[in-house]
Structure 1
Amino acid sequence: MTTAPTTASSTSTTPGRLAGRRIVITGAAAGIGKAVAHLFAEHGAALTLLDRDENGLSGTAADVRASAHAVDITSEAEVSGAIRTAAATMGGIDGLVNCAGIMFRGRAGDVSADEWRHVLDVNLTGTYIVIRAALPWLEQQDGSSVVNMASGQGLLPNAPGYSAYAASKGGIITLTRALAAELAPRVRVNSVSPGMVDTAMADGYRDNVDSYALRRLGKPEEIARAVLFLTSTESSYVTGAALAADGGRTFH
């Protein structure tokens, strides 16, 4: 699915913090990715949205007047085609936010090698595939930025049954730091590590808020604001960061 290309516009007559920016967001059909799309549109960015959920993606794209492409981020061919189209539609790419990912729980002795591979393929390799596809455009612009969605489990795995998920998110944090060193000074690369956020992905995993200093789940909009900071020029001296937006779960 590809929606008709349009330009995202701010709801305010005042130029936003992302005015003139051309940004791709993955995982935009729901949850944190959807919240990021709405916030970025309000701040004046031109957007292209990616997700495998065609129906949810269409709804978000209509809300924020963005182009959208239904893709599987583990498919290099699908991602490369969507990124090329995004760059042509927006006149380039100078921002990327990787929100696409899956939650997974299972003790190491019960998780098959195929399940392990699937979690890492989506969360870690999928993130890498999207970044790699966007690099030719990101590297053309000074001040380009990438924000990757990690997790508090990647910073501090402290509950049983998350070995595959924690490994995938810890890999995102390390990949972020490696790319920050490799792509500097032209492209900044940072990550956000949310705690448990009140989205559909949290269903069945809402039993541990007592370990959070703030004693509640986060809101998608709260994580989106952290992503906005790391994407905007307000964080122009920040790269390689692993920003914990986790209600005090890790105190990282």
Structure 2
Amino acid sequence: MQETNKRLHDRRIVITGAASGIGQATARLFAAEGAALTLLDRNAHGLQGIARETHAHVFEADVTDEGAVAQSVERGATAMGGIDGVVNAAGVMLRGSVLGVDVVQWRRVLEINLTGSYIVVRCCLPWLKQAAHATIVNLGSGQSLLPNSPDRTAYSASKGGVLNLTRALAAELAPSIRANTVCPGLVDTPMAEGVQGNVGNYALGRLAQPEEIARAILFLTSVESSYITGAALAVDGGRSFH
């Protein structure tokens, strides 16, 4: 692994969506920075791969299944000796017009992106309350800040909900627990398949790499951001500022 400053030395972190994309990149970076990890995902095969790289505790779990999440979090917390931070990176993107996306699909997107984040935080909270400098980082989207892309209504609503959920958590859990949102633009992951060219309104003119988002998540999880809570950090190549 790369040489780092071990900014997460002795920190115990739960990461969801860790089998691929931003979650996987975050797990890899956090391990390099000295964190002990508990990783959750529905993709058991992907979890085993990242577990070998990071020596993490891994659990196959759907974030919409409160029982499975609670059991996984308890086992992870026991193995690590507690929980200092949470990163909610599990999510789905659904493309389709309002008339094209039925209510069943709508509910599924909100269940995974919004309710799933709530369930994970709720299950981790007893341990977070016992930790010093505890942190929550939820993954929003550029669509949380500027929902102007067509055929993203369900996704935009879910990620807008994540943004305000995080702000509400920041208010409720302060001063002992900080909660912030990272809002990526398009990232070069499987979720962006078919839309990679839609970066004409990005000032930097390209997709992000997952590692670039992971570095922002690292900042909000480390003591370097000790006076930041309730913030929405746009990591979107300039998509939302103009």
Give TM class, smaller chain. Answer: over 0.9
- What aligned pairs does 1:43-62 form with structure 2 within 5 A after superposition? 43-62=33-52
- Do structure 1's residue 81 and structure 2's residue 59 form an aligned pair? no
The partner residue of 1:145 within 135, 139, 148 is: 135
SS of equivalent to 1:210: coil
- The aligned counterpart of 1:244 is 234
CA deviations 1:108-130 (Å, max 9, x no partner) are: 12211111000000000000000
- The aligned counterpart of 2:10 is 20
Question: What is the TM-score normalised by the length of structure 2?
Answer: 0.98
The partner residue of 1:136 within 114, 119, 126 is: 126
Give the ranges of 4+ consecutive aligned residues of structure 1 lying more than 3 Å apart after TM superposition: none
CA deviations 1:9-58 (Å, max 9, x no partner) are: x765x760000000000000000000000100010000010000010111
**AA at the equivalent of 2:69:** V
SS of equivalent to 1:141: coil
Q: Distance in 2 between matches of 1:155 and 1:61?
A: 33
Q: Distance in 2 between matches of 1:97 and 1:243?
A: 14
Q: Distance in 1 between matches of 2:39 and 2:199?
A: 31
- The aligned counterpart of 2:148 is 158
- The aligned counterpart of 1:65 is 55
- What aligned pairs does 1:1-252 form with structure 2 within 5 A after superposition? 12=3, 16-251=6-241
CA deviations 1:145-168 (Å, max 9, x no partner) are: 000001001111112101000000
Cα RMSD (Å) of the superposition? 1.2
Question: What is the TM-score normalised by the length of structure 1?
Answer: 0.94
Could you tell me which runs of 5 or more consecutive residues in structure 2 were left unpaired when the two chains were aligned. Answer: none
Q: Distance in 2 between matches of 1:166 and 1:11?
A: 35
Q: Distance in 1 between matches of 2:100 and 2:117?
A: 26
Q: 1:207, CA displacement in angstroms?
A: 3.1
Q: Distance in 2 between matches of 1:157 and 1:15?
A: 37
Tell me the percent identity. Answer: 60
**Count of paired positions:** 242
Q: Distance in 2 between matches of 1:176 and 1:164?
A: 19
Q: Residue 11 and residue 65 in structure 1: after superposition, are their counterparts in 2 closer, same or farther (change >3 A)?
A: farther
Q: Distance in 2 between matches of 1:72 and 1:148?
A: 16
Bigger mean CA offset, 16-25 vs 198-207 = 198-207
